[in-house]
Structure 1
Amino acid sequence: MAAIAVGWREWAALPELGLPRLRAKLDTGARSSALHVERQWRFVEAGAPWVGFALVARLHAGEVEAAAAIVDERMVTDSGGHRTSRVFVRTKLRLAGIEREIEMNLADRCGMRFPLLLGRTALADAFVVDPAGSFLHRRRRMRRPPETPRDV
């Protein structure tokens, strides 16, 4: 399958987390992907560690809560050189008509313009980033059927 060209920013979805539309920055300089969360909490489900989290997505009314199994916890270095321990989860990403499973960490990205950062591991083997492109894959709008004349 040939790689699909995407812009440096796109609309993406994380359907398993109840997030049908998020502004995403595609960053080939970042290895891992990150989702902004307002808060997170841990719990155990069927003997396995899970994380619950909440975020405010601009396109949704109010706060969205979701949960996912923890797949890892590791140190991540941000763009400012600060190292922090972050929880990693796996979920489905829908981007440019392609759906694939990705791994991402949960982070406080409150000072960032994009709640979702997609790093090169999420993009590998499926997408190529056009740094001059922006929102190349806008969500298609449903066409309304033509109106029928009303009988008077």
Structure 2
Amino acid sequence: MISPPLPVIGWREWGVLPEIGAEKIKIKIDTGAKTSCLHAHKIRPFQRNKVKWVEIWLHPEQGSNRSVRCEFPVHDRRLVTDSGGHRQLRFVIKTSLILGEHEFELELTLSNRDNMRFRMLLGRRAMTGRFLVDPAASYLIGGTQ
């Protein structure tokens, strides 16, 4: 039995996070990162009915101060090493991502990415078995700039 080919994505894509106000967000496809990451300029943990939650604020548009607020149950906390070798304990949430015609659940660590070019990184765990990456292409399935 031959498996159908996986869809090809570029090194950057537009995606939608339906649980975050269906905001369109520019995503860097990062095969060097194990876990995906979402920008949150403010993170506030709290408890609801003895369950740990996190309230986050993010700027979905690069270069804009427009802020979106949302809440998620905390899925995990993980020690993450960034590309500069810095280690940080981060909250992890689970949410859905839509890339083109593909919708799937993924884990996102939360970090302040105000000084980065992309509000979200899509890591290997989320891509494995779903996509192939063409590093020379951009916006193949998630729409245009």
Q: TM-score scaled by structure 2?
A: 0.90
Does residue 67 of structure 1 match 2:71?
yes
- Tell whether the 8 Å contact from 2:15 to 2:142 is kept in structure 1 after alignment: no
Return the index of the structure with the highest Cα Rg.
1
Question: Which residue number in structure 2 is paired with residue 127 of structure 1?
Answer: 131
Please give the residue correspondences for 1:11-26 in structure 2 after superposition, counting only pairs within 5 Å: 11-26=14-29
| 1:105 aligned onto 2:142 | no
Aligned to 2:118: 114
Cα deviation digits, residues 72-105 of structure 1 (max 9, x gap):
1010000000001000000001112100000010
- Show the counterpart of 2:5: 2
Is residue 36 of structure 1 aligned with residue 39 of structure 2? yes
CA distance in 2, matches of 1:45, 1:39: 19
Counterpart-to-counterpart distance in 2, 1:86 and 1:61? 23
Aligned with 2:19: secondary structure?
helix
Identity of aligned residues (%): 40
Deviation at residue 106 of structure 1 after TM alignment: 0.4
Runs of 4+ in 1 over 3 A off after TM superposition: none
- 1: distance between equivalents of 2:74 and 2:142? 31
Shift in Å, 1:138: 4.5
CA RMSD of aligned residues (A): 1.7
Q: Is the 8 A contact 1:6 1:96 kept in 2?
A: no
Q: Tell me the CA shift for residue 58 of structure 1.
A: 1.9
Structure 2 partner of 1:48: 51
Residue 137 of structure 1 corresponds to which residue in structure 2? 141
> CA contact under 8 A between 2:78 and 2:91: conserved in structure 1?
yes
Say if 1:2 and 1:126, in contact at 8 Å, map to a contact too.
no
1:148 corresponds to which residue? none
How far apart are residue 20 of structure 1 and its match? Answer: 2.6
SS at match of 2:74: strand
Q: How many residues align?
A: 140
For structure 2, which runs of at least 5 residues remain unmatched after alignment?
A: none
Kindly provide the amino acid, as one letter, of the partner of residue 42 in structure 1: P
